[in-house]
Amino acid sequence: MSIINISHAEITTFILVGMPGLEYAHIWISIPMCSMYLIALLGNCTIRFIIKTEPSLHEPVYYFLSMLTLSDTGLSFSSLPTMLRIFLFKASEISANAYFAQQFFIHGFTALESSVLLIMSFYCVLAIHNPLRYSSLLTTLRVAQIGIVCFFKSFFLVLPFPFTLRMLKYCEKCQLSHSYCLHQDVVKLACSDNQIDVIYGFFGALCLMVDFMLIAVSYILILKTVLGIASQKEQLKALNTCVSHVCAVIIFYLPIINLAIVHPFVQHVSPLFNDLMTNVILLVPPLMNPIVYCVKTRQIRVKVVAKLCQKQIY
């Protein structure tokens, strides 16, 4: 532990934890964890490659899907280093600057994924409500502009985190609650006034919840439009276009909402459960999104199978 001025014991190194109570099994836990990361990276990179190389997939919905895979890949790469160090090498110490940098990228890519899911929900509304005009409204240039706005909005939202956290003083306590870096985790350790960080952290969480509420509103509009369609076959066809997105929304937001509900009662909940839920938030969406879109989106599935068959022939 790095100490500056022993009389005031200011901490500049934090200690991350793995699975509380399962330290003896960390090496075995690392095997499925690494496998999930590799599958997630392979799946997301494959979808991006297919969309980039197939002209028939150069449409707004697939551009948005590329943005989703980008946020998933970034989320995986942001959390992977510290988790591997803990579970494989039992190296739990991390410098304050490295901690603040990692939490910036983790929260930034989380906010980006939330923004992309929101934009995709608006796309679903437009595609179902006005199927003849949505392609002319969402041109390639407009999609690129939306993507750039989402990127800057997400990372500017969390940009103050490293700077405000760096201004706090951390005394005596240095052990955190998770195997990767979270804003709310380190704020609790501060021995100086952390009110600004708590308020801004709440504001960041509120932005995610606003995204979720807007997504819910968009699906209310979708259901209203679908129920106005006379043919049941057409209703099912319209709803089928949103199934993959609904799955992605559930996979991303359900663990976050569950953790938000559990967090106020964390003193009555097993630390192992709390840590498992936070790991699910980072591990499951990057893993499941490519699988869901490959299974439920025929165009993606057909192109992936075609590429695999082509490689087998060669």
pLDDT digits (tens, 9 = 90+) for 183-233: 878 888 888 778 888 888 888 888 999 999 999 999 998 888 888 776 777
Q: Which contiguous run of DSSP H or E holds residue 223?
A: helix 195-227
Are 242 and 261 in contact by the 8 Å Cβ rule? The answer is no
| pLDDT at site 172 | 67
Is a pLDDT exceeding 80 seen at residue 177?
no
State mean pLDDT over 153-168. 89
What's the pLDDT tens digit per position in 3-47? 334 334 566 788 888 777 777 777 888 888 888 888 999 999 989
Q: Which of 26-35, 103-112, 133-142, 143-152 has the least mean pLDDT? A: 133-142
Are 250 and 212 in contact by the 8 Å Cβ rule? The answer is no
Domain ranges of the chain: 13-311
Percent of residues, the chain, with pLDDT higher than 90: 19
Are 228 and 173 in contact by the 8 Å Cβ rule? The answer is no
> 123 Cβ partners below 8 Å, 6+ apart?
60, 61, 64, 134, 138
> Can you give the pTM of this predicted structure?
0.88
Is a pLDDT exceeding 80 seen at residue 310?
no
The domain 13-311 having CATH identifier 1.20.1070.10: the answer here is yes
What's the pLDDT tens digit per position in 256-297? 877 666 655 555 566 677 777 777 778 888 888 888 888 878
Tokens for 102?
A: 């990692």
SS3 (DSSP) at 13: strand
Tokens for 250?
A: 């559930």
Q: What phi and psi, each to the nearest 5 degrees, are found at residue 10?
A: -85, 125
What's the pLDDT tens digit per position in 41-97? 999 998 998 888 888 888 888 899 999 999 999 988 888 888 888 888 887 888 888
State mean pLDDT over 101-121. 92
Q: Which contiguous run of DSSP H or E holds residue 275?
A: helix 271-296
